[in-house]
Amino acid sequence: MQPEHLRSPAAKEPIGSKSYSVRERLHRDMSKKLFIGNLYFRTNADTLKAAFEQNEHGSVEKANIACQPSGESKGYGFVTFTSPEACERAVESMQGAKIEGWAIRSELARSQN
């Protein structure tokens, strides 16, 4: 094991070992995340998560709904899967699926950069 002063402070890994850049980590995380548009304004995160879990695409890590400062839904949200493969299966099969009577739009999420 290397002495403490030769370790990377941020990653707690020895210098020279494989570590991911911020861009690589962002890409890896975004490959598991879907943007879901055209949501009914009363759809909540639990309902969104359940819709993706019941279709057995893979394990859903989390779901969230974008909201105004007032708490009102902006009509879109995000679903994060535990694997990129599950995300890829879901993006195609859920395109146009109905959640609470509204046909949703699903696509791979993009970073805001």
Structure confidence at residue 68 (pLDDT): 96
Inter-residue contact 63 to 94 (CB < 8 Å): no
Domain total for the chain? 1
Give the CATH number of the domain where residue 45 resides.
3.30.70.330
Within a domain: 22:
no
Within a domain: 77:
yes
Inter-residue contact 65 to 45 (CB < 8 Å): yes
Structure confidence at residue 17 (pLDDT): 47
Structure confidence at residue 21 (pLDDT): 53
| Number of other CB atoms surrounding residue 24 within 10 Å | 10
For Cα atoms 113, 80, 32, give the angle at the middle one, nearest 5 degrees. Answer: 65
The pLDDT tens digits of the residues spanning 11-60 come to 444 444 455 454 454 445 678 999 999 999 999 999 999 999 987 777 99
Q: Look at residue 107 and give its three-state secondary structure.
A: strand
Structure confidence at residue 28 (pLDDT): 53
Within a domain: 98:
yes
Within a domain: 7:
no
Inter-residue contact 66 to 94 (CB < 8 Å): no
Within a domain: 62:
yes
